[in-house]
Amino acid sequence: MVFAPTGLVTLTTDFGLAEPFVGIMKGRILGRLPSARIVDLSHGLPAGRSDLAGFWLGQAWRDFPAGTLHLAVVDPGVGTARGVTLAECGRQLLLAPDNGLLPEALRGSAGVAWRTLDPGLPDRLGLGRLSRTFHGRDLFAPLAALLAAGELEPADFGPRASAVDPRPLPRPCRTDDQVQGEILVADRFGNLISNIDAGLLRGLDSPGVALGAHDLLLAPTYGAADPGQPVAVVNAFGLVEIAVRDGSALDALGAGPGATVVIRNCGGHTEG
């Protein structure tokens, strides 16, 4: 279970693509590791929302092969004394500011080895003076390149240490006869993704999903609803999701992130 780098690096930021911030990071990575293969995961995350960046990185990192390094820079504390976290899990590395992003991404993962950056390492690596506003360029990109090149071993990154998690995403609550959770995010299609993992539904024979005034049956696929009608499904990440077929649940249902979702055994009257 040793990390053997392959030069594959993913990037997750809240930098957007309108300015060349992400491109600049790639330039710094390619300057140190010309053979790097760089994949964008997302750069359109809400500004400063390290928790949501962690959520999405958590849905994505397992789909990459062993030897991948995942760099995530959502860093509202840039320039302050916040730490830097490296996590090794499943023969992959994840690197991010120590602000809760990686604990969210790795929630429930077994066998994570956590390290925190030795504050003297950037100087010893010759990274030069860091700007106060763009550590993605000055600190994270070179660290990622060195780790992905195998020139910096995880063991030399810094001491073992647990990561902070100041703002964990809300967790669902399971009682005997129901699960209560909430909508975490609306995706590009207006689908409303909850924090309720399908594993929590065991024992609910005929699960009915309540979102505000909407009562929905849990269906196998979007196509189970008529066009324009709402439907609840277990999505590809194993989470309960409320969608509107060929439409946007976010627009149509008057509910978005933060809305309560309740799932209970259901008879009676339902939509969907």
- Is the CB of 4 or the CB of 213 nearer to a copy of itself? 4
Only segment of 44-52, 99-107, 154-162, 168-176 that touches a copy of itself (CB under 8 A): 44-52
Only segment of 7-15, 111-119, 170-178, 259-267 that touches a copy of itself (CB under 8 A): 7-15
Residues belonging to the chain: 272
Q: What's the closest the beta carbon of residue 115 comes to a copy of itself, in angstroms?
A: 24
Do residues 6 and 67 lie in contact, with contact meaning Cβ atoms separated by under 8 Å?
A: yes
Alpha-carbon gap, residue 191 to 246, rounded angstroms:
10
Show the 3-state SS of the chain: CCCCCCCEEEEEECCCCCCCHHHHHHHHHHHHCCCCEEEEEECCCCCCCHHHHHHHHHHHHHHCCCCCEEEEECCCCCCCCCCEEEEEECCEEEEEECCCHHHHHCCCCCCCEEEECCCCHHHHCCCCCCCCCCHHHHHHHHHHHHHHCCCCCHHHCCCECCCCCCCCCCCCEECCCEEEEEEEEECCCCCEEEEEEHHHHCCCCCEEEEECCEEEEEECCHHHCCCCCEEEEECCCCEEEEEECCCCHHHHCCCCCCCEEEEEECCCCCEC
Q: Binding a copy of itself by CB under 8 A: which of 165, 182, 215, 241? A: 241
- Is the CB of 138 or the CB of 197 nearer to a copy of itself? 138
Only segment of 33-41, 96-104, 117-125, 168-176 that touches a copy of itself (CB under 8 A): 33-41
- Comparing C-alpha atoms, which of 84, 76, 100, 223 is closest to residue 159? 84
**What is the size of the binding site for a copy of itself (CB under 8 A)?**
66
Q: Per-residue contact track with a copy of itself, 170 to 209, x per CB under 8 A?
A: ---------------x-xxx--------------------
Check binding of 166 to a copy of itself (CB under 8 A): no
Check binding of 236 to a copy of itself (CB under 8 A): yes
Check binding of 27 to a copy of itself (CB under 8 A): yes
Check binding of 45 to a copy of itself (CB under 8 A): yes
Q: What's the closest the beta carbon of residue 268 comes to a copy of itself, in angstroms?
A: 25
Q: Binding a copy of itself by CB under 8 A: which of 5, 9, 50, 57? A: 57
- Is the CB of 203 or the CB of 223 nearer to a copy of itself? 223
Task: Give contact residues for a copy of itself (rule: CB under 8 A).
Answer: 6, 8, 10, 12, 14-24, 26-28, 30-31, 34, 37-45, 47-48, 56-57, 59-60, 63-65, 68, 76-80, 131-134, 137-138, 185, 187-189, 220-223, 233-236, 241, 246, 248
